[in-house]
Amino acid sequence: MTIKAAILGFGTVGQGIYKIIQSKRQQLYKLLGDEVELESVLVNDIQKERALPEKIVVTDRFEDILSQRPDVIFEATVGAEPSFSYLNQAIDQNIHIVTANKVMFAARGHELLQRASQNVGIGYEATTAAGIPIIGTLKTLLQTNQVTKVQGILNGTSNYILTAMQEEDKSFSEALHEAQVKGYAEADPTNDVEGHDAFYKLMILSQLLYSRQPVWSEVPLTGISHLGQKDLQAAKRRGEKIRHVASLEFVDGILKGRVEPLSLPSSHGLFSVEGVDNAIDVTGDLVGSVTLRGPGAGQIPTASAMIEDFVQIWQARSIRLQPSLL
Ligand code: NAP
Ligand code: HSE
């Protein structure tokens, strides 16, 4: 049997998924017992040149994707809609879904999770901190712990800009341009530099940990666009680094979030997080403090998280289909 895959969105991330399906063909076969074949791709503009073989359907109509009856849909488009409607339809047809779209998932991910039957897997590791397996860690490895605090650098573009400004004396716009060229920034980089992207990721973590989110309008939210060389160099003279930090605290049943730039002393756990890296420190009542760090944006790290999600989903499905494996 062939595992039929579709990709929604063939930009930085979508192309990364295709590259991994090709470059890891044998490894995927070994893990899944079947070949993964990309059969169709959904885009906005079908006139654009795409480096894809002719046999792969490239379309701007979601019906064409569904008519191929894919086993899995990798969703890497932009914005809350039409992605949410598409994934809802996919769930109704028992198609597994894996998404990188944090704008959609922060607002409506819980609806998708509620709607999906046991037979449909939903992967969303790539929505939060790209290559860092924070979702999987919280979901499966810290289940008994009561997590009281999460604090992290959740936007790769902002961290890339702050590092380049402070360490290499680059201007804000020069550093942002580099982040865009490297494929780190959102289609609209306002989301990155005004803190919205980190906010969405924090809300996804909140939903996962506490099955709810703080009231969005009550979360103090500041980005990095107002910061200039003067601020960064002043921090440097103090022996500090300015980092964009998102935090969530759960104390006495009250959930509080904040997203803001902070000037961190060298003793702070997030002080040394450089470039496009993200890091997340999780405090659990049993384990204490655990920090995960790694690439927070970029084509292959993001696509890596999506492929790993799919491998888990497919392996879990195989176990369900063959109870004797348990
Ligand atoms: P991108 O390079 O701008 O690519 C977006 C792709 O989606 C394009 O192929 C575009 O089509 C397609 N698209 C957009 N709206 C569409 C619609 N309504 N219907 C069909 N296709 C549509 O963006 P990206 O960087 O790959 O990011 C994709 C998603 O992954 C976003 O939700 C982003 O937040 C998330 N993400 C990105 C990263 C990263 O490092 N880049 C990391 C984690 C998560 P055309 O090609 O025709 O324009
Ligand atoms: N634009 C996002 C970032 C992509 O820079 O962190 C990863 O979610």
How many Cβ atoms are within 10 Å of 261's Cβ, its own excluded?
Answer: 20
Residues 76, 28 share a domain: yes
Check pocket membership of 294 for ligand 2, CB cut-off 6 A: no
Q: Which ligand is nearest to the CA of 42?
A: 1
**CATH number where 22 lies:** 3.40.50.720
Ligand 1: which of 43, 132, 181, 200 to mutate, judged by most atoms within 8 Å of the beta carbon?
A: 43
Residue numbers annotated as active site:
201
- Residue 132 above 80 pLDDT? yes
Residues 307, 266 share a domain: no
Residues 289, 172 share a domain: yes
- Ligand 2 center–CA 76 separation, angstroms: 13
Residues 272, 156 share a domain: yes
- Residue 325 above 70 pLDDT? no
Q: Give the DSSP letter of residue 221.
A: B
Residues 90, 29 share a domain: yes
Residues 175, 64 share a domain: no
Check pocket membership of 130 for ligand 2, CB cut-off 6 A: yes
Q: Which ligand is nearest to the CA of 99?
A: 1
Residues 255, 186 share a domain: yes
Residues 120, 200 share a domain: no
Ligand 2: which of 186, 193, 202, 245 to mutate, judged by most atoms within 8 Å of the beta carbon?
A: 186
Domain that holds residue 305: 2-130+300-321
Place of tokens 């470039």: 275
Residues 33, 140 share a domain: no
Instruction: Pull the structure tokens for residue 292.
Output: 């995960």
pTM of the model: 0.97
**CATH number where 255 lies:** 3.30.360.10
Check pocket membership of 125 for ligand 2, CB cut-off 6 A: no
Q: Is residue 235 part of a domain?
A: yes
Q: Is residue 176 part of a domain?
A: yes
With a pLDDT cut of 70, the percent of the chain lying above it is: 98
Q: Is residue 163 part of a domain?
A: yes
Q: Which ligand is nearest to the CA of 78?
A: 1
Closest by CA to 305, choosing from 289, 316, 294, is 294
Provide the pLDDT for residue 324.
Answer: 63
Cα 34 from Cα 26, distance rounded (Å): 10
Place 118 in a pLDDT band, splitting at 50, 70 and 90: confident
Q: Is residue 271 part of a domain?
A: yes
Residue ranges lining ligand 1, Cβ < 6 Å = 9-14, 42-45, 48, 76-78, 82, 100-102, 126, 130, 183-184, 186-187, 297-298, 302
Residues 67, 185 share a domain: no
Q: Is residue 208 part of a domain?
A: yes
Per-residue pLDDT tens for 52-98?
999 999 999 999 999 999 999 999 999 999 999 999 999 999 999 99
Check pocket membership of 186 for ligand 2, CB cut-off 6 A: yes
- Residue 321 above 80 pLDDT? no
- Residue 253 above 60 pLDDT? yes
Contacts of 324 (CB under 8 A, 6+ apart): none
Instruction: Pull the structure tokens for residue 16.
Output: 């990364």
User: Which residue lies with its CA nearest to atom 28 of ligand 1?
Assistant: 76
Per-residue pLDDT tens for 172-215?
999 999 999 999 999 899 999 999 999 999 999 999 999 999 99
Look at the chain and report how many structural domains it folds into. Answer: 2
Provide the pLDDT for residue 166.
Answer: 95
User: Which residue lies with its CA nearest to atom 2 of ligand 1?
Assistant: 11
Provide the pLDDT for residue 317.
Answer: 86
Cα 131 from Cα 151, distance rounded (Å): 17
Helix (H) / strand (E) element for 261: namely strand 254-264
Residues 148, 77 share a domain: no
Helix axes 25-32, 12-23, angle to 10 degrees: 70
Q: Is residue 326 part of a domain?
A: no
Residues 244, 316 share a domain: no
- Ligand 1 center–CA 94 separation, angstroms: 24
